[in-house]
Chain A
């Protein structure tokens, strides 16, 4: 208690969260406002100045609306539920096995794989004319032509659900692993096992209740992202009708007042949808938690359901890793192919010509991408440190929770309005606007990575430094940050990766004038040339991968050892 008082008194950074909060929430609120106006009939540039609910009636009466809503809900909720089950099952079943060590090694690189590239790779694996069918045809299947099977783009969005599940479960496994590293559960887990609980059930009973609160926010982020996914949905989802987010973009693309306002209403609706579904999930959590209590205290040492969850996890995580890895390999093959037709399982000829020819085009894109990502991740990491430092002694950290809002809102709901703000400030189409807009999406992830290591830092070290006369800033710079070198590097690398993958924010803030690898990848993803798409997607993957690798091998262990030995 006294420690907390000492630390609080000298907290020179107390106003920081409020400032960061204002910088972040201000633009988002203005952006939402800019979307709200046309949703209620006010769109002066298109000659609409009458307040009305017409856009809403048009939206609800639209023939595609009900189906699009159903697909959105089923794929969003379904993918999150599946991804979470797989993540929990995999960690529960494998947590003390050798396979888990390899799994963890593979996680980071596959996470660097952007959604758009993953979708293109997945499509070419699973399509009836894709790699798997080619390997098996015609010698096994007898298919002289690709079979007319509805695997991708099915009207119910099953392919989309599967792809989202496979991509998101890897992220959730990583989040569970990170949370587990911070918990003190090993002893309890061992006692449970000595008491006869089989390992999977022991983990589910002892660890999961401790860890779930820590991965709750990432789960909500996955939920919101799955509901609003655009790039994966365009490649793998149904087209007639598509889910709500791509349908909204279709309407924004039809340039008449009616469709524009319908698009605005649909954007606003998606905000409520996102909030509503997260609330529903929260209710679900509590129901499951309530039921779970009975199971935990039942004293049973093993059960069929535990084993089933374990198997789902092992199979699902395995499938996710194999898919992600094969998708990268497929893109590599395409980038090297000069000709590759059905039913050959490998390209007929290999050449570096696509790489050579696209070199000149790629160079400025790589330049823009790196400049934006480095600036964003450095600013976000700095802001995250200041926010966390200011948050000392505020265990509720409600303010920090607000900083996660950008992850829970559908991007299209405020990006159109935000574009208006940048335009007013004469900043649209500048690197600054792109960097600032990326910052809104990067900061939450950086905070997510950094907050646990930051809190886990032994408070006595800082207190000792303060007692020896160092101010808060000096303690931070000279003592804490050196100890946190490794997590800081990882947080910056994650921030870098998130920035590299941003598509819609780059398009809107950049006003189409700032091209990055992500905008190029989506522009090419439609299939103009898979060889070129392969080159861009691989470059897009290589950048965050290199950043994460650099963060992981960077020197920093000694600082960690010192904290352990002190």
Chain B
């Protein structure tokens, strides 16, 4: 009996350890090894290297129509280029950045888990500063020649920071307001008018609490109305001047908040909730960074057909969003091919379709062949899209340091 015991002990122990470790060991074997490619390699080489590679694309997944678009890209690049594209669904780009930081710490310079990231603004600046991105590559993409780099300054300078080809443009965003015209709403057309409108319609408007990006964009939009010298917004914040330059802004919000939804004592978490509140008739006005938000919501039955969208007089904040390739991407060639495909007139036109996503294109329509230009000019102009002329009134994103300081100052005033 005792002999049996001593015989059994190590076996059982090994079995237990084996049981726990077996799946770990098994999965450690099939690591992909990165086939290196130069960012300016001949495109045929890129294409042939890309064939058969797997691309993991980390992209925010909080919106079903965006997920559907990425699903379409995935099936197209499989058919055309033999690339297996997976949408790594994130609810925060920061999660992907953490993972890259961890890679950097642990010295994993190739065979990374992520090949493409949807990115812009302060996340891009932080990633570039931390050395998390590969490049420069954008200007070597064949479709780069069609990109509207002259007409659209935010393509070369992301939140005023020159991106030097470390990210490739994917689409445009512009702060757009919308409401249901059947409810007899005559919405305010300027930031100052919001204050008066809210005073006569208490509880019928709100914005997401910063640091939510839509919330802080509304704060930036208001800042534009109260700042005399706009040139300071394109430079880093001068700390000593910040209280003085933003005093009028905070006075505005102090007066606005008591007339907001719930008296400014509660805030929604993000912009999809704003749309839902409009649907529930909790508020009368919502906004989004996507000019076609109202249009797609009507198409999918979330908002009534009487919904209308508009841009504030004097313009609203506009920015470009991009894709970037991590420093340790395992499938850089295939990531380049996907980035280039995203810039194709076909992919851009589909993205710009107000029934599908409605994101404005980053291409210069004059640089396109007539047949490609028609893809854009033939898109339906639904009643829920903002006036095209008004969309031309665009304000630039301030330097990323404004983002950080405004979030801090907002929290110090309203989140205590």
Contacts and interface: CB of A to CB of B under 8 A. Distances in A.
Interface of A: 10, 12-13, 15-16, 19-20, 23, 44-47, 62-64, 66-67, 127-129, 145-146, 148, 150, 152-155, 234, 238-241, 250, 252-256, 338-339, 341-342, 361, 375, 379, 382-383, 386, 416, 419-420, 423-433, 435-436, 471, 473, 507, 511-513, 515, 519-520, 522-524, 526-530, 532
Which 9 pairs from chain A and chain B are nearest by CB? A148-B203, A129-B280, A240-B415, A255-B126, A153-B266, A63-B412, A432-B23, A253-B94, A239-B209
B97 to A, nearest CB: 5
Contacts of A13: 12
A80 B43 CA distance: 62
A512 B58 contact: yes
Nearest to B183: A145
B113 A253 contact: no
Interface in B75-118: 86, 88-92, 94-99, 101-106, 108, 111, 113
A146 B277 CA distance: 10
B106 A423 contact: yes
Contacts, number: 204
B1 interface: yes
A129 B282 contact: yes
Given A45-B101, A63-B416, A512 B89 contact: yes
A532 B64 contact: yes
Given A239-B209, A240-B209, A426-B31, A523 B91 contact: yes
B268 to A, nearest CB: 7
Contact of B268 (A239, A341, A432): A239
B267 A423 contact: no
25 contacts: A45-B130, A46-B101, A47-B130, A67-B416, A145-B281, A146-B282, A153-B266, A155-B266, A240-B266, A240-B267, A252-B94, A361-B67, A379-B20, A423-B106, A425-B24, A425-B28, A432-B23, A432-B26, A435-B23, A471-B8, A512-B90, A523-B89, A526-B270, A529-B64, A529-B300
Contacts of B266: 150, 152-155, 238-240
A471 B20 CA distance: 25
B89 A522 contact: no
A152 B113 CA distance: 39
Contact of B108 (A23, A254, A423): A423
Contacts of A416: 98
A111 to B, nearest CB: 26
Contacts of A150: 262-263, 265-266
Contacts of A423: 99, 102-103, 106, 108
Max chain A CB contacts within 10 Å: which of B13, B261, B277, B301?
Answer: B301
Contact of A255 (B63, B94, B414): B94
Nearest to B100: A45
Given A240-B414, A256-B122, A423-B108, 15 more contacts: A63-B411, A63-B413, A128-B282, A145-B281, A238-B266, A239-B269, A250-B211, A420-B105, A423-B102, A423-B106, A426-B28, A433-B24, A511-B99, A512-B90, A522-B91
